[in-house]
Chains A and B, each alone.
Chain A
Amino acid sequence: EDQVTQSPEALRLQEGESSSLNCSYTVSGLRGLFWYRQDPGKGPEFLFTLYSAGEEKEKERLKATLTKKESFLHITAPKPEDSATYLCAVRLRGFQKLVFGTGTRLLVSP
């Protein structure tokens, strides 16, 4: 069965304390892995798309990487405004829908 698992469920960091969020997947035929950020009371906000193992993308303090079995979202020197839930999703070959993980709730304290 196609599955997306995110860890940890929750992460608390001090401002400036770098860390990584994990998204592991067991799917047959990956056609894209997506990272979204979701703030309370809002819809998911698109961050990155990764298509193939070895690919990396960066945006400000965020860097996403992809291997054949997992993706990491690295957060360098986070700030309190980076606090949010980070969702990853995979798109399967032959399907248009995204399968979402349950997310990692990140809290960055000043």
Chain B
Amino acid sequence: DARVTQTPRHKVTEMGQEVTMRCQPILGHNTVFWYRQTMMQGLELLAYFRNRAPLDDSGMPKDRFSAEMPDATLATLKIQPSEPRDSAVYFCASGLVPIGQDIYEQYFGPGTRLTVT
């Protein structure tokens, strides 16, 4: 049963600390997304990668957030320094874009619940 995995599942940290969240996409998927979910804003796209290359990170605060894909099996989202307003659930999703098509489903991981105090 192929699934997206995320670590940690929960993170509590103090304001100003660095936070790193990790995601392992479904094996063989070539597109990875980072979303943030809050009660007020719902699900918002932060960034996404195709074949490990960043394609769009316009939803991400550039001064403190960074996203990378060191290899095809690992995506990371880093916040430095963290702030209380970053408290949210962060989801990673992955998908496989078939050759010659551009429509595909995204499969979500269980999320990382971040609390910044």
Contacts and interface: CB of A to CB of B under 8 A. Distances in A.
B52 to A, nearest CB: 15
Interface in A17-76: 31-32, 34, 36, 41-46, 49, 51
Nearest to A94: B102
A102 interface: yes
Nearest to B111: A43
A86 B42 CA distance: 12
A45 B56 CA distance: 23
Q: Is the interface of A mostly helix, strand, loop or mixed?
A: strand
Q: Which of A31, A34, A96, A102 has the most CB of B within 10 A?
A: A96
Contacts of B42: 100-103
Interface residues of B, number: 23
A34 B95 CA distance: 14
Contacts of B4: 43
Nearest to B95: A96
| Size category, A interface | 20 to 34
A101 B41 CA distance: 10
Interface in B54-68: 55-56, 59
Contact of B45 (A45, A49, A97): A97
A63 B31 CA distance: 28
Given A46-B108, A100-B43, A100-B44, 7 more contacts: A31-B102, A45-B108, A87-B43, A91-B103, A96-B50, A97-B45, A101-B42
Interface of B: 4, 31, 33, 42-45, 48, 50, 55-56, 59, 91, 93, 102-103, 105-111
